[in-house]
Each structure stands twice: as structure tokens, then as C-alpha cells.
Chain A
């Protein structure tokens, strides 16, 4: 069993002591999170060290062998990574979903296969238990994870209605328990996990009350009723052990059901809000390493008699990618904090985040690949990490719930939110955007199937109003006003289009144009999150880059560009400020996100 106090020997954190002389003091909770992040970074070590068993060379070699690094799994067990997934009340360290993403991001920066294959899979499985399980199920699940065990999740594209109706895996009631029959395919860790969280049909009637979530302790079922399918070979996340399972007349006790019988769809839609908000936060780590690799190339490589970084197009591309990471992190921050601060509204925020952030990151990595040239597809050497992260990124984000599934969750809710909340509801509390601030406890019972309001959209309007009268943005004031006017105009147009949506366009059969509405809406939420983060950081001496308006205006321009808005002129030095920050963070090995974390155990 893990013991929190033993994890962080004070001798291992001289960096914290050094930093405290220069930086203003942080709260106890923030200091504790930083200690965890630093501890993980120092265990992962210098990625460029060829002797490091967890360095890029070792990660690439393991990927070529389609294996996870065994020593890395041992190291993560020693670190107690599983404790990040277990609520504090049950003996773990999970008390904030934003922190969960922030810590796991470190593993994803190094090796997403490890991040998913060692860890996040157990999280995706266990959230159902935390949100719907009995005390006994929670206790057993916590004990399993804290003891270094694994939980696999077999849900199958749940958000796709048609898949649900066609789901053939059954757990029909029998003798006070259930009888499992059928297969689940493409399931991470299915064979080596000690327990499974299954989504199964428990009633033959059609509809949304015929499925249940079941917790299956493999040791408690007859071994001859469970079999495994061959491992799937995958394009990305090659090290992950992705397989399948088949049950044949396998009896399960009645207390295996998580939540209520027939409550599976509801439980999944609620608990997915936790994972849809924090998986994008984790995969920011992939994009971080991809960008770091390409910036390293741009700095090292000479072309046309100059360094690649002197080529304006390369600089613009890399600056844009950095901005996309910041936009993604602002949105991930708002989503992971929304489940605490605005649980009744988290449904739409989480799904919009899970839709947009992986898309932004995927497109950013594609743009970066142009700078790398032939080094894009070379699978070894100094820049080989890039192609691995590019391959891993879509697997990490599609596996759980794809973009279309997330949009299908958002679309039916838009007309109601447009009518009830936009231009009339209250704005989000400042706590939604607190990069380093504490959060109220998570109450999963308050997560709603349908968002009851839309404070994040209302915050966009509040920020727009503030921008009209405030000159906080200094020389960026005019550009900021133009940008936010564009966003409020966009929200107004969206409101009209949503009000006019025909009923048939509110289902998965919706006209593709409707998916465009959900895309524009997600971009507006992202803009609101950026504005919220900046407004919260404006007076923070500890975050000089985030407190300045340059990044904000540059980031909002990226969003406005995606929306097809006319882009306002920006003051001289705006792009340079972002580029300089990118280079400084590259040279100092600091993360390309809101946290500006020192990497590689340099402390």
C-alpha cells in the first residue's frame, strides 16, 4: 500500500527550495502537486540521455518491439501512479481532475503507450466505479489499483446510439446473478488486468435502460468460461496490449452490477464527463514532445545557409503550434475544473473539449511535420520521437470516444442552451480558470446527463463587455476588442441557427452542416477559456508570460482564423513574444502548457 509521505523524500527536491527564493509562495495544495510532478519528472529522467532506460531512445526501441518498457512499469508502480486514479477518501491521491491530467501529462510526454497502457486505461475503467459503485466495489477497486493491479474497460463506442442498440454482449439475469455471453474487442490490457469493467446488455428490450455496467473480478469467475482473443496490431500505441475477451455462459454474482441494473447508459454518460475532460489534458503531453522535437530540429538544422528557425514560415508554424497547445490547455483546464465547479454544466464542456482539443493537437502536429521534412517519417535517431507521438495521438484520443461521438452528445443540447443560457445566464466563476488554485471536492452525483446551463459561453460575453471598457490589454486593446466582438457575433449567429434547427438535425442523422455548428461552438468555448485564464493570470507576478496579453491575442487570432473571421492587425512584437517564450522553454526544458513545468528531473 502506498504511503503519501514516503513518496517525496525532502532530499530529492532541492529544486523546490531553490525556486522558493525567486518565486512567490504557492498554496500548500499547489506545492504538493508540483512535488508530485517533479518527482515523476525526476524518475523519468533526461529524455535525451541515451543511457536513460526511459529516454527517447529506449522508448523508440520499445515501440519498435511493440512492447511497453517493463522497467518503466516498475518505476511507475514505485511512483504510485495508480494512486492518481483513486479518490483520496479511498487512500489514493485523486482529489482534482485538473491535477490528474497534469500529472498524467508527464507520462504522455515521454511515452503515450505507457500513459495509456500502464495507467489511463485503469482510470477509464474505474471512473464508473467511483461514480456509481457501492462502498464495497469502491473499496475493492481502490485496493486493487493501490496494490499495483489493473482494471480494463470494455465499453465499445458507447456514445454511438446504433452501436448500443446492436451491442450483443449480454449479461442476462439468471439465478439472482448474471450470465455473460459474447466478446469485447480492441480492449487495452484485457488479458493482464485483474478486473474488468464491462458494458453489457442486461435486458433484451430495446432502449436506453437495457444495459448495465458490471465489475468483473476475474479471479472469482470460472476460468473455463473466459477466453482471450489474439492481440491486435496497431498503428500507434504499439506497446499497448490491446486484445479481446470472450465469455461463454460465464456466471456472475448479482453484486457485480455497478449502479443499477439498466442504468449503464446513464452511468456511462455521467462518468464519461470525467474522462472526456481529462484525456485531452493528458494527450497535450504528446503534442508537447512533438513540438519540442521539431523546435529542436529548427534550432539545430542549417538550411539555405541559415538555421531553420530563421525561416519565417518555420517560425510561424511552430509559434502557431505552441499557441494551439496553450488554447488546448485553457480548454482542458476549464473542462477538468468544470466537473468540480460547474458539474451540472460539465456534459457539454467535457464533450466539446474531447472533440476539439485532440483535433487542434492533431492538426498542429501535421503542420509541424512540414518543418521536419524527411525527418517526419524517420523512425529513429534524434527526431524519431516525433513520428511516434504523431501515431500515438489519434489512438489515445479515438480509443475512448471519437470526435463524432462527442459531437453527437453536444448537438442535441445546443438548441436548449442557446435558448436558455446564451446571452442570459450567469458567467462562470473565476475558479473555473484558476491555473494554480484549489478546487471544491468532486461530487459525481451532481454530474448531469444534459447540461443545465452554459456559464462558459456566458463568460465569453462578460469578457467581451470587459474588453470594451478596460484597457488592461494595453497596446493589445484594439486587437482584443475586435477579436471578442467577432466571437460574440459568432455566438449570436449560432443562437439563431440553433433555434432554427429542424428536429431531425438534432440526432446522429443530422446534416453534416450541424456538426459544423458544434465545431464553431467548441471554438467559442475555447476562446472563452483563453480569456478566462488570462483574466485570472493578469495580475500574477509568478506567471509573467501568461499575465501579458501577447499570447492571449495571438491565441484568439488562431481561433478566429478557424472561424473564418477577419483578423485584426496585431502590435509589433506579438508573435516574437510567443516565439521567444517557445525558444526559452525549449532551451530550459520547460513544458509548453499553462504550467511551464521544468522537465526531465533537471531540478
Chain B
């Protein structure tokens, strides 16, 4: 499915998430705080789950839908997704299904 890509860094995930959030929330990127929980921005439980679909779309690997609840800020989620990406790259399981 996804074209194999070099492992992204945490910073790249962070930038990408800021961009997604700004699209979801219709707010400029510079108004989005890395440490403010998604819920405080009004992204409800179910809509937050669609972020996980975006990650799958963009990076081609599957995460549990609830990672967005367990890592509810851009900073936390970027760190987690980067660690997952690194792990998958190391074990050769990147690239999704």
C-alpha cells in the first residue's frame, strides 16, 4: 500500500500533527499549542479517533485507535508515533498491512 519511506523524526510528526490539527480546528497553525490536550480544543472523543486513521493514511502503519486518547497532545502523540515508526523500521515491519 504505502510507499516505503525513511523513518520520520519526532519533529516531522509534530509538524504534520500541527498541520492536521489546524485543519480539523480551522485555526492557524501558530495558535496550536503542542501541550494543550486535543479535547480542550473541542476535538471530541470520536473525532479524535479519526486522527488515527490519518496517521495510518499518511504513514502506512496501524496503531490502536485509542493512541489518540492515551497521548492526547501533539507533543505526546508525536513522540509516541516516532517511537513506533523507529521500532517498525528496526524490525522491518513498517509499511503497514
Contacts and interface: CB of A to CB of B under 8 A. Distances in A.
A207 B38 contact: yes
A70 interface: no
Nearest to A448: B65
A186 B85 CA distance: 47
A529 B11 CA distance: 47
B26 A412 contact: no
A506 B52 contact: no
A279 B46 CA distance: 21
Nearest to A268: B45
A503 B69 contact: no
Interface residues of B, number: 28
B52 A450 contact: yes
A207 B20 contact: no
A185 B37 CA distance: 29
A251 to B, nearest CB: 28
Contacts of B30: none
Contact of B43 (A160, A266, A419, A507): A507
A509 B54 CA distance: 18
B56 A416 contact: yes
A502 B48 CA distance: 15
Contacts of A415: 50, 53
Interface in A404-429: 408-409, 412-413, 415-416, 419
Interface string A192-228: 0000000000000111110000000000000000000
A161 B72 contact: no
Interface in B9-64: 20, 23-26, 37-40, 42-50, 52-54, 56-57
A239 B25 CA distance: 44
Interface in A155-181: 159-162, 164-165
Contacts of A207: 37-39, 69, 72
Contacts of B87: none
B66 A162 contact: no
B45 A208 contact: yes
A257 interface: no
Nearest to A414: B50
A431 interface: no
Contacts of B49: 412-413, 449-450
Contact of A503 (B44, B46, B52, B54): B54
A159 B23 contact: no
A504 B24 CA distance: 4
Contacts, number: 91
B44 A416 contact: no
A209 B44 contact: no
Nearest to B38: A207
A265 B47 contact: no
A408 B49 CA distance: 12
B43 A209 contact: no
A338 interface: no
A508 interface: yes
A288 B67 CA distance: 44
B92 to A, nearest CB: 23
Contacts of B70: 209
Contacts of B38: 207
A205 B37 contact: yes
A509 B25 CA distance: 9
A244 to B, nearest CB: 24
B56 A504 contact: no
Contacts of B50: 412-413, 415-416, 503, 506-507
A457 B50 CA distance: 20
B89 to A, nearest CB: 23
B37 A449 contact: no
Contacts of A502: 23
A205 B69 CA distance: 12
B72 A209 contact: yes
A408 B45 CA distance: 10
A412 B46 contact: yes
6 contacts: A207-B72, A208-B45, A415-B50, A449-B66, A450-B49, A504-B23
Interface of B: 20, 23-26, 37-40, 42-50, 52-54, 56-57, 65-66, 69-70, 72
What 10 A-B pairs are tightest by C-beta distance, nearest first? A161-B44, A412-B50, A507-B47, A208-B69, A206-B39, A503-B23, A416-B53, A208-B45, A207-B39, A207-B72
